[in-house]
Structure formats: C-alpha cells, structure tokens
Structure 1
Amino acid sequence: MFNHSCESLPRRYELDWLRVLAFGLLIFYHTGMLYSQSWGFHFKSQYLSSGVENAMLLLSPWRMGLIWFISGVALRFIAARLSFWDFLVSRSILILLPLLVGIWFVVPVQLYAQMSQESGLTLNYWQFYQAFFDLSHPIFKNYSAGIWPHVDVNHLWYLRSLWQFTLLLVLILPLLHLSKVQALITYLCEQSLLIIFIVLLLPLCALKLSWPSDTFRYPMGALFLLYGYLLAWQPVFYNQLLRCWRVLLGLFIVGYLLVVAGYHIIWQNPASSQWQITSMDMLYTTQRLLGVVLMLALAQRFLNRNHPILSKLNGAVFPFYILHQSVIIALAFWFTPMQLGVIIEPLAIISLTFMICWFFYEVISGFDVLCPLFGIKPSGQYSRKLRFYARLIGFGIISPLMLVLLI
C-alpha cells in the first residue's frame, strides 16, 4: 500500500500554489461572515449587509471542496514515500497536536466575543479563560454544544475531519490500490471531460439528496478527499483541464449568476416549493464541483512553476489556518466600539489578520519545539527526535484515545 515510488513524478507546484491561495481566501471569506446579514457566525459587525453574500457566493460552493481535493492529492504523495507506521505517526502529529492546541488556546477567544455580544458577558478575558477550563461553570449553560461542554473545534473542524478521514482512507487503501481499480480510474480519465465531470458529480448529488444539510460538509469533504487521492497521479485528467480552462471559466461564470439568482429567488423565499429547493441544491452542488475543477484548470495554466517563496508560504498555511478566524473575531470585537465605518473596518481587519498571522508564523517557526504545535515541519534533527518519541509513546495507544476524545 505504501512506498509506491513517486520519484518519477514531478512536483505539483500548481497544487502548492493552489493550497496557499485556497487557505488564504479563508481570511477574506471569514471576514465577510462578520458582515453577512443572513448567515450565522460567532460574532457580527454592526455593519451588516445582504449584498456581501453575493460576493461570498463566488467562493462558498467550492472553497472547502478544493481544500479537501488538495488534501487527498497530498495524502497520495505522502503515502508513496512513507512506511505505514511513519505515515500514521507523522499525520497524527501534524494534525492532532495543532488541533488540541487550537481548541484550548486559540478558539476560546471566539466564544468570548460571541458571549460578550449575545449575553452581555462582563468578565474580562483572563477571568473568562479561567472559567473556560471549568467544564461545569454556570456561565456556559447556554453554550453546551461541542466536543465537551462549551468546548468546540469551531473552524478547526477541518483538522479533526482530516485526521478521521485519513484513518478511514488507510482502511480502504488495499481496495483503492487494486490493479482493476487503478485501471478503471485511468480509463475514466481518458474519456471526455464531460463524462468525467458527470461521473464525479453523481455521487455528490446523491449525497446531497440523502444527507442532512447541517452535516453535509463531512461526507462532501470525504468524497473530495477521495477524488484527490484517486486522481493525484492521472496526468491525462489534468491535461484535459488545461485544454478546457476557458470553457470551464465560462460555465463557472454562468453558474455563479444562476446561484446568486436562485439564492435570492428560492433559498431566501419562505414560499419556495420543495422541488425548487431541490433544484437549487443540485445547481449549487454542480457549481461546487465546477469551481474545484476550474481552480485546478487555472492552476495548470497559470501556476505550474516554482518560486523561492513558495516553500515558505506552504509552511505558513497551517499556522494561518489555525490562527486566522480567532484573529479576525478578536479584531472585530476590538474595533466595534471605535465605529470605523463599513469600508475602513473590514480593510483593517483583513490587513491586520494577514500581518498578525505572519508575525506569529515567523516567531513560531524560529523555535523547533513550537513548530509541531502549529503544523510546521521542524528542522531535520528535531523532526527525527519527534518521530522517535512518538514511536516510544505508542501511536497505537494514544490515537484511539484521541479519537474518542475528539468525536
């Protein structure tokens, strides 16, 4: 299953760039959530608007699907160069340590801002943070949903799901690596792009029709991760995307306009019939897949090259992801009494979020002992020590325990 040679495969620089851009877009997207009038979020600005939702619909269908697809490709390359044991140990350290650090040290500021806005919390942050570790504290009686009472993953749900999906993927690897399955995938990629698109779309539509909407992001993520894993080594597929990028762009623009129209006419209309809602769901699902394949095609066309800064940007992705939403909400909470205005406030939040996250990345990456806590690969010597102690402690004991705690 593991150690299938990938030495002859070139580095997928376009996917590295796409990973950086996809996670970078989360800062813009989650800043937009502060101002969305109809979409729920942990904290809301005083400058709410329904118009911002039109811009966010450009990203919302496909942003996480793209991240999951790239995660699947990454897993294929990682599994090809590591043994089974090293694969599980390295992925668990990379994912679980940042998740646990984020839950207890990064996410709480979001709950503090939310409770301050919704229930008039009068504690300062230090008093709140002390209470946060008391799982039976009465101030959290109305905030009981989460991993433990009032403790939740918030935006870090991706890390938890990524680890769980990785374990599930390992279980089905013998099936995925069967020669007949690989031959079938290769055969599919040799068909027209329309046929490929339909084959990939049908499972997404079936999931959307059968799965509850409030938890649909989980099976959707697992499916896109599986797509990425299976298509990682299929150059014919990417060549087809490259040839058709203009057509995909045109279809995506049309799809976006239809999604915006359907959002206001159907989804925002309480009188909409069930068939209208279902039709809109199918349109949105189609746009989800179309957005992912378009981004892959554009990356093939414009980003398939290396740059000296790419490695550094790639290393900053996890720290940015872990920190960004808490920084956004903390800044919005701080700026609210200042009444900066509908233009200055979001610009200040976006700019400062990038600067603050980069500052923390530079500080964290300077200390090898801190790197694994935020998903940064430490230096070679420290990395070897980390793998040794992880083996010594015993992945087989700790990981199932963490799975119980994190579900």
Structure 2
Amino acid sequence: MTRHYGMDWLRIGAFALLIFYHIGMVFVPWNFHVKSTHVATWATLPMLATNAWRLTLLFVVSGYASRALLRRSSGVGGFIGNRTFRLLVPLLFGMAVIVPPQPWVELVTKHAYSGGYATFWLHDYFRFATLAGLSLPTWNHLWFVVYLWVYTLALGLVLLVARSPAPQRVFDKVFAGVGVLIVPLAWLIAVHGWIFPMAAESHALFGDWIAHATFLPAFLFGFGLAGSEPAMAAIGRWWRVGAVLAVVGYAFIIGVERTWPGDTPAPRWIYPFYGAAHAVQQWAAIVALIGIAERYLNRDLPIRPMLTEAVFPFYLVHQTIIVVAMWAILPAGLPGWAEFAILVVATIGGCWLFYVVGRAIPPLRPLIGLRSGRPAALPRRTAAAAL
C-alpha cells in the first residue's frame, strides 16, 4: 500500500478545522460549555459551511488510516489489540485528567457552582450521576475516540468473518464510477431527510442512531477506499461535480437559516428538504476534498511527519484549552475580535506544548496517543516551521 500524502494532509486539515470550529462555538448561539458575551448570529453562516461534513470526513480519513495500520499489524487480532491500547488509554486519561475542567467551567459560568476546581474533581466529578443536568464523569469531545474504537471492533469482526477479497471487489465495482458520488448520497439523503429528519446527534454512543448511520459507513468507506484504485480514480473524475453540489446544498441551508433565523420555528414540511440538502453538502464536499487531496496534495513536505503525529494529542487537549482560556478572559470584558485572537494563540500554543512535553517523556507517550518508547528528536527546521 503506497502512502497517500494527500490523505495525510486531509487528516491534518480535518483536525485543524475541528480546533477552529470549537473556537467558533464560543461565539455562536449554539450550546457550548462556555460562551463569550459577544455571541453573533451571523457567525453561524461560516460555521454551517463545514458543519455538515467535518465529522464525517474525520471518520473517512480514520478508516483510510486504519487500512495502513492493519497492513503493519500482525493480523486482525494484532490490529484490534493495538488500536484498543492506542485509543482507550488516551480516552481514560482524557476523561480523568483532560476533560474535567470543561464541566467545571460550565457549572461555574452557567449554574453558579461555588466549589473550586479541586473540590469539583475530588468530590463531584466522579459521582457517576448528574449534577445540574450534566452527567459526570464525561467524555465530552472525546466521544470521537469511543466511536472510533467501537467501529474498529466492528471492522475487525467483518475482517475475521470475511477473509476473502470478495468485499473489496464489490466495493471496487460499486464505487468505480459515478456510484462513488450517488450511492453514499442516496443513503445519506434517506438518513437525514427521511429516517431521522432534522435529528441531532447525542454522542452518547447508545441510542445515537443518526450518528452511527452516518459515521460507521463513512469509516468503512475510508477503509475500502484505501485499497481501491478504481474508487480513487472515480473521485478524481467526479470531485468537481461534488464541489458544485456541496455549494448548492450549502446555499439551500443558508436560505432556510435566513428565512427562519434564530429561534424562529421552521415549518415541518421543510425538514426533509433541509435534511436532504445537509446530506448533499455532506457527501459532495467529502468527495470534492478527497479529489483535491488526490489531485493537488499528494506530495510530501518535511513538516508532515510531525503534524501527522501531533494531530491526535492536539485533538485530545484542544477543547479544554479553549474552554479554560475563555473562562479566564471573560472578566476582562475584551472585544470579540480580541477574545478570538487570544483563543487562537492560546489553543495552538497550549496544544503544541502538550504535544512536545508529552512526546518527550516516555511514560506520558501512551497517555496522549503516541507509540511507546523513546521519541526521535524533532528536526530543527520542522519544529521552527510549526511555531
């Protein structure tokens, strides 16, 4: 399996987008753990440009990367064991150490919680019950790790049962032409426009059917794509059409949002159409982005290996940095642009520090999702470019 640098860059970009999206959550009317006093309805419009496809893209590129990990593993059992260790250890560490400041800030800013952080962590966080409507302990943004692990187990089961190349041949046949665009579109339109119209994901794992109906097929598609030259070639032919369709879907969504803004209830008849437009934007944008990665980004740069390694530690810690930093600067009463700038600098700097320190200390490496052992030194030019 030849390494596809374009998919590496797409994975890096998807996680970078996630960081900026969560910074944006501070400034839009949607629910989040802490909010700026400068909430702006207009900010939802650029957020909606990525809202439909950003998480689905993460599962596609994760499925693609899983194919390479399987090739390097000692069979399916070794693959599952490695992924279980590399995902569940950071998850447990994250739930116990990284995530707790988020519900504490939410309780302090929204529910007048009077206890300090030490009191919260020692006496309230591990209650395995609710506090002011929050279920504690929680995985918050680390739900992605939970879902990825469950989908990896499902993939492993499929691989153990279907040991022949037949599933890959079927994949190649179905997605070798325009099917790479219309087959997933048909499924997602059914999911968002008919089966679960306007339904929201819960990220609670159990009962989150709309999420599983979307993300599990995306993960499996990414795995199949990693072994399918016909499907990648088809994306190379159809990605421009995907880009146009994604813009059309986004335009419809913006039209609905402007017609019924804020808390204005939209009529029920619009729900299936909105869901269908969401689905069109979702898959068409992913096809377009993979096509761009295939056409323009499939080349290596010295900084890529470091960024490829850093994205998971960045993901683990970024939301806690955003929430705590916003809580810290709230009393200053800064203008919105200043808050945004501070959050960007604090989040990138904090994530970089978390990664550099964690990778340099062998016992900490598994806790932040890195391979065990002593790290290689970061090349000076690479480290300087990252800063």
TM-score of the superposition, structure 1-length normalised?
Answer: 0.84
Of 134, 152, 156, the match for 1:170: 156
Structure 1 residues 47 and 177: CA distance shift in structure 2, 3 A: farther
**1:235 lines up with 2:221 in the alignment:** no
| Other-structure match for 2:19 | 27
For CA contacts below 8 A with separation 6 or more, give which structure has more relative contact order.
1
Q: Partner amino acid for 1:162?
A: L
Q: Partner amino acid for 1:21?
A: G
Mapped contact 1:266–1:280 kept (Cα < 8 A)? no
Q: Report the alpha carbon displacement of residue 254 of structure 1 after superposing the two structures with TM.
A: 2.8
**1:152 lines up with 2:146 in the alignment:** no
| Other-structure match for 1:130 | 122
**Per-residue Cα deviation, 1:227-250 (whole angstroms, up to 9, x for no partner):** 111222112222232344443333
Q: Partner amino acid for 2:137?
A: V
Secondary structure of the 1:274 match is coil
| Other-structure match for 1:329 | 323
Mapped contact 1:201–1:286 kept (Cα < 8 A)? yes
Mapped contact 1:33–1:41 kept (Cα < 8 A)? yes
**1:213 lines up with 2:200 in the alignment:** yes
Q: Partner amino acid for 2:61?
A: I
- After TM superposition, list the pairs within 5 Å mapping 1:6-405 onto structure 2: 9-37=1-29, 39-82=30-73, 83-135=75-127, 141-145=131-135, 150-174=136-160, 177-191=163-177, 193=178, 195-208=179-192, 209-211=194-196, 212-214=199-201, 215=208, 216-265=210-259, 270-379=264-373
Mapped contact 2:188–2:214 kept (Cα < 8 A)? yes
| 2-structure distance, mates of 1:227, 1:190 | 13
| 2-structure distance, mates of 1:256, 1:81 | 39
| 2-structure distance, mates of 1:327, 1:366 | 20
Q: Report the alpha carbon displacement of residue 345 of structure 1 after superposing the two structures with TM.
A: 0.5
Structure 1 residues 373 and 250: CA distance shift in structure 2, 3 A: same
Structure 1 residues 28 and 271: CA distance shift in structure 2, 3 A: closer
Structure 1: give runs of 5+ residues left out of the alignment.
1-8, 383-407
Structure 1 residues 250 and 25: CA distance shift in structure 2, 3 A: same
**Per-residue Cα deviation, 1:20-75 (whole angstroms, up to 9, x for no partner):** 110011111001111111x1111111110111100101111100111100111111
Structure 1 residues 165 and 267: CA distance shift in structure 2, 3 A: farther
Q: Report the alpha carbon displacement of residue 198 of structure 1 after superposing the two structures with TM.
A: 1.3
Q: Partner amino acid for 1:283?
A: A
Q: Partner amino acid for 2:144?
A: Y
Mapped contact 2:181–2:238 kept (Cα < 8 A)? no
Q: Report the alpha carbon displacement of residue 81 of structure 1 after superposing the two structures with TM.
A: 2.7
* Superposition CA RMSD, Å: 2.2
Structure 1 residues 350 and 238: CA distance shift in structure 2, 3 A: same
Mapped contact 2:360–2:375 kept (Cα < 8 A)? no
| 2-structure distance, mates of 1:279, 1:180 | 37
Q: Report the alpha carbon displacement of residue 184 of structure 1 after superposing the two structures with TM.
A: 2.0
Structure 1 residues 81 and 336: CA distance shift in structure 2, 3 A: same
| 1-structure distance, mates of 2:154, 2:237 | 34
| 1-structure distance, mates of 2:266, 2:118 | 47
Mapped contact 2:111–2:132 kept (Cα < 8 A)? no
